[in-house]
Amino acid sequence: MMVIMHEAATEADVAHVVARIEEIGASAHISSGDRVTIIGVIGDREEITQLPLEAMPGVDRVVAVLKPYKLVGREFHPDDTVIDVRGAKIGGDHFAIIAGPCSVETPEQVLEAARAVKAAGGHMMRGGAFKPRTSPYAFQGLGEEGLRMLAAARDDTGLPIVTEVMDPRDLDVVCEFADVIQIGARNTQNFLLLAEVGKADKPVLLKRGPATTIEELLMAAEYIVKEGNRDVILCERGIRTFEPATRNTLDISAVPVIKIASHLPVVVDPSHSAGRLDLVLPLSLAGVAAGADGIIVETHPNPEHALCDGPQALPTAVFGEYAGRVLDLARWAGKTVT
């Protein structure tokens, strides 16, 4: 931590800051320039960050030197984390396609989608039983009944299930059926839910919120890992910007930025970022080329009758062609595709 003093700060201001730093057992190193004094703070990071240094007289700003996360950082854990979900691996050089409908609607719909994903070489199945919807008047998901439909499709195809939990009170029932617990983009900073899934014994797929910085996403993952669950998959799904051509702006740079900073696997969601069917393939390929460990994508047997996000879902009829292209690029990028 470095404290940059105002140009007009007095010696008393500097002495006061130093005293407060030393009070908590940290040490202060003063370097005085022509116009500005800087105080370096060395000591226990957690204790130092509790000090409201910026509230002290004469302080202009405080610059963090070390990253705020630990367990999810590469410094702590240089090797890539590889997560094994019922035999489907993701992370390191393992690549996975996770696909399925936005929401679970009928047993037939789920089964048809799962079979198409399986036939195309996909590795996991996604589908929402509990749905966060902007409007209270929209379809909110089938709940436990939907989870049972997913489990039936898993029995049929062998594909592990990725599904969202929104309410800590639903965590038990979701864990009963799911293989990977998804935290949606509106819950990236729902710290209670993060801590709860951190105690679960299932891998977690953590989506980045539309106004969450990459560092905040990593801090959200830290909440999970801190509780003991080290199997976290991060998901880039677009951020909010001024550009109206897409629903969100896929922050493709987040993929290599995260791979450099963290050992956790990263997947890209081309469906929710763009909200446009005609961008799903190019954005999936961009994700793979940028270094993603997987893609999570929507597919539906009949998008025109979907109860949720139909316009962005790939029809299962074309899913094989799509997945073939994605997997071929993953191989080009040096990934193992099974």
Beta bridge partners of 267: 235, 294
Closest to 122 (Cα-Cα) out of 246, 263, 299, 240 = 299
* Contact range with its own copies by CB under 8 A, out of 107-115, 116-124, 171-179, 272-280: 272-280
Pick the closer one to its own copies by CB: 88 or 308.
308
Determine, following the binding rule CB under 8 A, whether residue 279 of this chain makes contact with its own copies.
yes
Pick the closer one to its own copies by CB: 67 or 118.
67
The pair of structure tokens assigned to 46 is 């957690």
Determine, following the binding rule CB under 8 A, whether residue 288 of this chain makes contact with its own copies.
yes
Q: Do residues 214 and 264 make contact, with C-beta atoms less than 8 angstroms apart?
A: no
- In the set 18, 107, 215, 337, which binds its own copies (CB under 8 A)? 215
Closest to 238 (Cα-Cα) out of 264, 261, 217 = 217
Distance in angstroms (rounded) separating the CA atoms of residues 199 and 224: 8
User: 10 Å Cβ neighbour count for 74?
Assistant: 15
Q: Which of residues 129-188 bind its own copies (CB under 8 A)?
A: 132-139, 166-169, 186-187
Distance in angstroms (rounded) separating the CA atoms of residues 278 and 150: 27
Determine, following the binding rule CB under 8 A, whether residue 303 of this chain makes contact with its own copies.
yes
Determine, following the binding rule CB under 8 A, whether residue 65 of this chain makes contact with its own copies.
yes
Give the burial string for 109-146 (b: 16+ CB within 10 Å, else e): bbbbbbbbbbebebbbbbbbbbbeeeeeeeebbbeeeb
Pick the closer one to its own copies by CB: 26 or 152.
26
Q: Which of residues 16-45 bind its own copies (CB under 8 A)?
A: 20, 29, 31, 33-36, 38, 40, 42
What is the smallest separation between the CB atom of 160 and its own copies, expressed in angstroms? 26
What is the smallest separation between the CB atom of 97 and its own copies, expressed in angstroms? 16
Closest to 151 (Cα-Cα) out of 200, 89, 86, 78 = 86
Q: Which of residues 228-257 bind its own copies (CB under 8 A)?
A: 239-246, 249-257
AA letter at 155: D
- Contacts with its own copies by CB under 8 A: the residue count is 101
What is the smallest separation between the CB atom of 84 and its own copies, expressed in angstroms? 26
- In the set 58, 209, 294, 301, which binds its own copies (CB under 8 A)? 209
- In the set 118, 121, 226, 320, which binds its own copies (CB under 8 A)? 226
